[in-house]
Every structure is written in C-alpha cells, then in structure tokens.
C-alpha cells in the first residue's frame, strides 16, 4: 500500500492521461532520472510532503484539508519547474511505448528508403535494357536494309531470345511484331538484280485476305480502341450537317465500307440519328448507300442487314455494291439521281491506293472530283509510313505503333487475351506489311495530314472545316476511354491522339 498522499497524487495524474502520453522524454532523461521514483519507507518520515500513515479520524481530516488546499496545478508547476524527481510523471510502460513507436517509425522510414532505392535501380536497369533493346532492333533493321543476312540473323536470334515478348512491356510487345516483320523481310531477300516475285493477288486493303483470327481481332479493335469509332462519329456529324441545308434524298458512296467491318456500324449510327431527328429538321425520304470494294459477298451481307435495320427505323434504304477496286473505279460505276445530296466517305482506305508512281491515287481523286460530292469525308492514320527509305519508314512506324500499344496497355490488363489478339493478329499484320514488303503488295502506306492536304489541293479539292469539335470532345469523354486520348483541331481537321502523338485524322473536302 502506498501512503495516502501518494495515492492521491497518483490518482490525479492518472485522471489527466492525455497530457501524460503527450510528454516526450529524451533518452538522457531516462538515464539521469531513475524511474519510477516511488517513495520508500526509509524517507517517508523525512519528506515534508508525506504524512504519517494513520487510520484515525485526525489523519483523515488532515488529508481532506490537504486535498482542498493543494491543487494539481500547484504540484505540476512546482515539480516540473524544479525537477522531475519530486512526483513521477510517466509510467515505465509509457516510456517503452514511446520509444517502441519511435523505433518502428524509423524502421518504416528506412524500409521505405530501401524500397525506393531498389525501385529506382530497377527502373534504371529497365531503361538500360530498353535502350539496349532499341539499339539491337535498329542495328537489325540496318543489317536487313543492307541485305547482310548473317549479321541480321544473329541479331534476330538475340532479339527473339531475350527481348521480344508477347506478354511483356508495351515496347517489348510492339518490338516482337517488328522482329517478325524483319524476319519475314530477311527471308524474302533476293540477290541483287533478281526480280522479286510475289504470288499475292491484288488487294484493296489487308482485310480483303484476312484470316478468321484477323477478322476477330479487327472486331475487337473496333470495340476497344476509339480509332475507327472516332472517325465514324465525326464523319456522320459532318454528313448530317451537310444534309441539314437542302434536299430530302441522301446518297452515300462508301469506299471500302470501313474495311468491310461487319454489320455496317457507321451507317447504323447515321440511320438512327436521321430517324430520331427533332421537329423542324428535314426528314430523309430516301437513303441510298453504295459500297465499293472487292469483297462483294461481305458488302452484300452488310447491305442486307442495313436495309432491315433502316426499315425498322422507318427509313427507306436502298443499298448497292460496286465490285471494283478503287484504282479501277469509273464515274459511270456510281449511279447518281437528280436531286440527291451526294456524299463520299472513306475510312482507312485511300492510303492503300498511294503507290510509288502516285498515278493510282490521282486517278481515284479525279473520279471522286467528277462525281461532285457535296462533302468528301476522309479518315486516315496520321503517320508517315510511305517514305522512300526503309530505315526511315521503320523508325516512324516503330514510334507510331509504340503509342498504340501503350494505349492498349492502359485499356486492358497485362495478360488479357483480347489485347494479345488485337496486337498479334491485327496490328502485327499492319506492321508486317509496312516492314516486310515493297511494291504493289505494300498497301499500308500511311501519310501525314499535311501531305494529304497537298495531295487534295493538287487534285482540285478545297478544305471544308469540321465544325463538330465540341461534339467530338464530348463524345470522347462519354466513351470513358483512357485519359491519354486527346482530340485536337488542326487547320479545320480533327486529330485523335495518344499523349500528344497523332493517331487518326479526319478531314472534310468539297469540290
């Protein structure tokens, strides 16, 4: 049993527990002051503060009187200002708790610092590996361009064994596609002077001879990537705006039908929009769609679906297909009736007509100009993959598709099979066509928007600024795609980009 006065002071201290726990004592304090300083029976009698232990009434009255006259603040002021020895402030376990927390905090900081250092080292190692990877890839492309089969084969073996991974980082995945393209180009190298033969039949685009896997990947790409949907939305907005001013008969000539995308998604959206126009807007009394392409069965199937869909929407749709390539197209192949508003639409198609001679594209543009459409909407990849030198084309394509694979990285998990299909069965085929082939077989000849402006101007077309800038940005927000996508207006055209890298450009022209 403690003396009565000590019990009283002890109880008063415990009542203010928060202030006790808030005290911060140095280690030196613990060393210099023995804790706890509990009064012993040897010095109780000598202490002026401690009363003799007694159970009689007089002692109890003295304790009560002492309790009234001595406040806790007096004890605190007197003891804390002079010394910590007079009254104990903290229990021993409180010191243990304080220094345990301090030690744990220091330990956590040290572990966090180690983790940050390890992460920085890993990032540095990753950057160094990626730099070595890029150097090897470029060196391999140079060897292939120089027809050095031995050196190129050695570099390809290193790349395939150590770096090119289908489920690696975005750069490793895109590089795996370029490695395959280089290997294919290397295998087709003929001795200098020998004629390069190709058994491939003439095609309008790579989807004309697509496998089932590639067609499935193309559908997935349309659903997940906003590239084609962006072009469809802006094109439909421009067509609807052109239809606002005059007439009730609309005729659309679709070059390639968006690479024969199943179900005619673009025109379903337009039909739905035309059928649900607000009062005061001109009604569509007749809608005609003419599809141009070599896959006639696929086009007819799409047309039949569209006619049924339009009928359910209350619109009379007439679909027809022209079984010709764009290079062989003639103005007489397109039937135009009097009073129709004619619109020409091309999505990812005209770059396939760009050849070394440039005559094929000029011929197509002349046919379109003779048709005198009210609006000609063109959607194209905004990149330069048609340079005269292989190495420059290779580097430009590597930069462009790295941005696309990075966007897929943000859209889908690392081991998602959908992403693997899109990358390895669709984009890999585009890359292969750019890297592996030359001559008429190379149809993926993307060009920059500025180059298209010059071509269109020489063909007699004038730029028609697109007014749907705000609608396109709102559409992108509603799509809830990754934050890296941007829509920028550039000299009357709209450009969809990924982190400042242009991906797809939509332009509008008139005669």
Report for 11-20, 78-87, 195-204, 432-441: range of highest mean pLDDT: 432-441
Query: What is the crossing angle of helices 390-411 and 92-145, to 10°?
Result: 150
Average pLDDT over every residue of 460-474: 94
pLDDT at 55 over 50: no
What would the two tokens of residue 381 be?
């990849």
Average pLDDT over every residue of 461-469: 94
In degrees and rounded to multiples of 5, residue 321 shows phi and psi of: -125, 140
Distances (CA, A) of 421 to 191, 219, 224: 35, 10, 12
Q: What is the pLDDT of residue 202?
A: 63
Provide the 10 A C-beta neighbour count for residue 378: 26
Q: What is the pLDDT of residue 368?
A: 97
What would the two tokens of residue 251 be?
């005729």
| Nearest by Cα to 77 from 67, 69, 87 | 87
Topology of 213-382+446-510 in CATH? Rossmann fold (3.40.50)
Q: Please give the model's pTM, rounded to 2 decimal places.
A: 0.74
What would the two tokens of residue 464 be?
């028609």
Residue 382's SS3 state is strand
Q: Is 158 exposed, middle or buried (0-12, 13-18, 19+ CB in 10 A)?
A: middle
Average pLDDT over every residue of 97-121: 70
pLDDT tens figures, 391-445: 999 999 999 999 999 999 999 988 899 999 999 999 999 999 999 999 888 999 9
pLDDT tens figures, 161-189: 877 777 888 888 999 999 999 999 999 88
Q: Return the percentage of the chain with pLDDT > 70, whole number.
A: 74
Q: Which pLDDT band, with edges at 50, 70 and 90, does 32 fall under?
A: very low
pLDDT at 98 over 90: no
Cα gap 474→336, rounded to integer Å: 35
Q: What is the pLDDT of residue 118?
A: 67
Instruction: Of 84-88, 176-180, 284-288, 380-384, give the lowest mean pLDDT range.
Output: 84-88
Mean of all residue pLDDT scores within the chain: 80
Measured distance between the N- and C-terminal CA atoms of the chain, rounded to whole angstroms: 108
Cα gap 427→408, rounded to integer Å: 11
Q: What is the pLDDT of residue 67?
A: 47
Q: Which pLDDT band, with edges at 50, 70 and 90, does 222 fall under?
A: very high
What are the residue ranges of CATH 3.40.50.150 in the chain? 213-382+446-510
pLDDT tens figures, 224-255: 999 999 999 999 999 998 887 666 799 999 99
Distances (CA, A) of 319 to 101, 192, 256: 78, 50, 14
Angle of CA points 197, 258, 422, to nearest 5° = 75
Q: Is 268 exposed, middle or buried (0-12, 13-18, 19+ CB in 10 A)?
A: middle
Average pLDDT over every residue of 301-311: 95
pLDDT tens figures, 477-503: 998 888 899 999 999 999 999 998 999
Provide the 10 A C-beta neighbour count for residue 510: 13
CA dihedral 328, 332, 338, 343 (to 10 degrees): 0
Q: Which pLDDT band, with edges at 50, 70 and 90, does 91 fall under?
A: low
The full length of the chain comes to: 511
CB 383 within 8 A of CB 130: no
Q: What is the pLDDT of residue 12?
A: 40
- Higher pLDDT: 110 or 150? It is 150
Q: What is the pLDDT of residue 201?
A: 62
pLDDT at 25 over 50: no
Q: Which pLDDT band, with edges at 50, 70 and 90, does 89 fall under?
A: low
Cα gap 81→84, rounded to integer Å: 8
């Amino acid at each position: 049993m403690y003396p009565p006065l000590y019990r009283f002071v002890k109880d008063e201290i415990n009542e203010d527990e928060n202030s006790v726990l808030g005290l911060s004592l140095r280690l030196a304090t613990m060393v210099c002051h023995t804790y706890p300083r509990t009064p012993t029976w040897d010095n109780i009698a000598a202490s002026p503060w401690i009363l003799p232990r007694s159970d009689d009434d007089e002692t109890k009255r003295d304790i009560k009187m002492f309790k009234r006259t001595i406040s806790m603040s007096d004890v605190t002021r007197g003891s804390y200002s002079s010394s910590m020895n007079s009254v104990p402030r903290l229990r021993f376990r409180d010191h243990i708790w304080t220094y345990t927390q301090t030690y744990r905090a220091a330990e956590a900081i040290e572990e966090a610092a180690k983790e940050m250092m390890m992460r920085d080292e890993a990032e540095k190692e990753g950057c160094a590996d990626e730099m070595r990877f890029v150097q090897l890839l470029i060196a391999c492309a140079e060897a292939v361009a120089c027809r050095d089969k031995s050196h190129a084969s050695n570099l390809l073996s290193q790349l395939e064994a150590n770096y090119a991974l289908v489920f690696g980082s975005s750069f490793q995945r895109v590089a795996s596609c370029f490695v395959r393209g280089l290997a294919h180009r290397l295998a087709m190298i003929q001795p200098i002077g020998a004629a390069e033969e190709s058994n491939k039949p003439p095609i309008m685009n790579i989807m004309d001879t697509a496998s089932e896997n590639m067609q499935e990947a193309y559908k997935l790409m349309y659903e997940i990537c906003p590239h084609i949907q962006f072009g469809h939305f802006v094109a439909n907005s421009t067509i609807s705006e052109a239809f606002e001013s005059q007439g009730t008969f609309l005729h659309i000539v679709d070059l390639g039908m968006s690479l024969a995308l199943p179900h005619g998604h673009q025109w379903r959206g337009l039909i739905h929009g035309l059928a649900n126009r607000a009062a005061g807007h001109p009604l569509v009394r007749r809608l005609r769609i003419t599809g141009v392409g070599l896959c006639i069965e696929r086009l007819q199937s799409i047309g039949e679906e569209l006619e049924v869909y339009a009928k359910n929407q209350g619109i009379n749709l007439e679909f027809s297909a022209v079984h010709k390539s764009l290079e062989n197209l003639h103005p007489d192949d397109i039937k135009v009736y009097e009073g129709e508003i004619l619109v020409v639409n091309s999505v990812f198609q005209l770059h396939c007509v760009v050849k070394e001679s440039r005559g094929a594209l000029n011929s197509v543009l002349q046919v379109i100009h003779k048709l005198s459409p009210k609006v000609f909407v063109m959607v194209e990849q905004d990149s330069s993959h048609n340079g005269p030198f292989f190495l420059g084309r290779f580097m430009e394509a590597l930069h462009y598709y790295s941005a696309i694979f990075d966007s897929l990285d943000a859209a889908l998990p690392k081991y998602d099979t959908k992403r693997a299909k899109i990358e390895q069965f669709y984009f890999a085929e585009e890359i292969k066509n750019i890297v592996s082939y030359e001559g008429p077989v190379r149809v993926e000849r993307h060009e920059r928007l500025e180059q298209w402006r010059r071509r269109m101007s020489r063909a007699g077309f004038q730029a028609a600024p697109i007014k749907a800038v705000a609608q396109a940005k709102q559409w992108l927000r509603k799509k809830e795609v990754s934050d890296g996508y941007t829509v920028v207006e550039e000299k009357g055209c709209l450009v969809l980009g990924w982190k400042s890298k242009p991906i797809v450009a939509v332009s509008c022209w008139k005669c």
